[in-house]
């Protein structure tokens, strides 16, 4: 067994096992943690397949952002999963039929049925040769030259998303006590401390 094969089996086994654990564990937090494990191992699988860019993307986007988001949602919403499961018996027929459709589709795919036929050849982009530049290099070399227009356009979309998030959620709250350092430094003793002579037996003169 070569080293890539060895790692492939390790990654693949852990991916499948943690995927099973995602749907079978009772605690939703555990499910999300297993999901992260599955993502990490599948990014290992991508590494073995030579798609290092995709592997890093999976690790950064799915593990770094999506899974953490899931974790937060699960922890903050405090969903009662036991109650969600109560209606299971009712939805079994729907679930079973969806499963059956997916099974048929899988059989069709594995049975090599395709849209492609000999009369109408289809143009398919050729994969990059083994000795060529790496994925990341190849993407980088066209992203900022050939596709700079789209890259900048995507940047504008992200800007709109950011403005939108701020417009729709940011609220100026009244009465929030914030620390203001300049104000603290600018305070003078004369302005803030007042010496009052209190005669014995009279107190503050009824002001308290």
Q: Which residues bind other proteins (CB under 8 A)?
A: 115, 120, 122-125, 145-150, 152-154, 156-157, 159-161, 163-164, 166-168
Least distance CB 41 / other proteins (angstroms): 28
Least distance CB 119 / other proteins (angstroms): 9
Least distance CB 73 / other proteins (angstroms): 18
Least distance CB 7 / other proteins (angstroms): 32
Contacts of 169 (CB under 8 A, 6+ apart): none
Nearer to other proteins, 138 or 157 (CB): 157
Least distance CB 35 / other proteins (angstroms): 23
Nearer to other proteins, 24 or 152 (CB): 152
Nearer to other proteins, 149 or 205 (CB): 149
Nearer to other proteins, 169 or 202 (CB): 169
Nearer to other proteins, 73 or 161 (CB): 161
Write the DSSP string, 77-99. H---HHHHGGGHHHHHHHHHHHH
């Amino acid at each position: 067994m070569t080293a890539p094969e060895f790692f492939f089996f390790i990654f693949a086994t852990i991916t499948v096992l943690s995927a099973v654990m995602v749907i079978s564990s009772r605690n939703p937090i555990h499910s999300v943690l297993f999901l992260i494990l599955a993502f990490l191992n599948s990014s290992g699988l991508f590494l073995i397949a030579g798609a290092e860019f995709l592997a890093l993307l999976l690790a950064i986007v799915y593990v770094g952002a999506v899974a953490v988001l899931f974790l937060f949602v699960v922890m903050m919403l405090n969903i009662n999963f036991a109650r969600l499961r109560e209606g299971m018996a009712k939805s079994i027929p729907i679930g079973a039929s969806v499963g059956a459709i997916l099974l048929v589709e899988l059989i069709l795919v594995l049975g090599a049925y395709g849209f492609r036929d000999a009369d109408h050849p289809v143009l398919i982009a050729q994969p990059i040769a083994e000795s060529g530049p790496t994925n990341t290099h190849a993407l980088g070399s066209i992203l900022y030259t050939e596709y700079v227009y789209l890259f900048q356009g995507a940047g504008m979309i992200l800007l709109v998303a950011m403005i939108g998030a701020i417009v729709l959620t940011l609220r100026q709250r009244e009465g929030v006590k914030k620390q203001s350092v300049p104000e603290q430094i600018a305070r003078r003793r004369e302005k803030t401390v007042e010496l009052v002579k209190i005669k014995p037996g009279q107190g503050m003169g009824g002001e308290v």
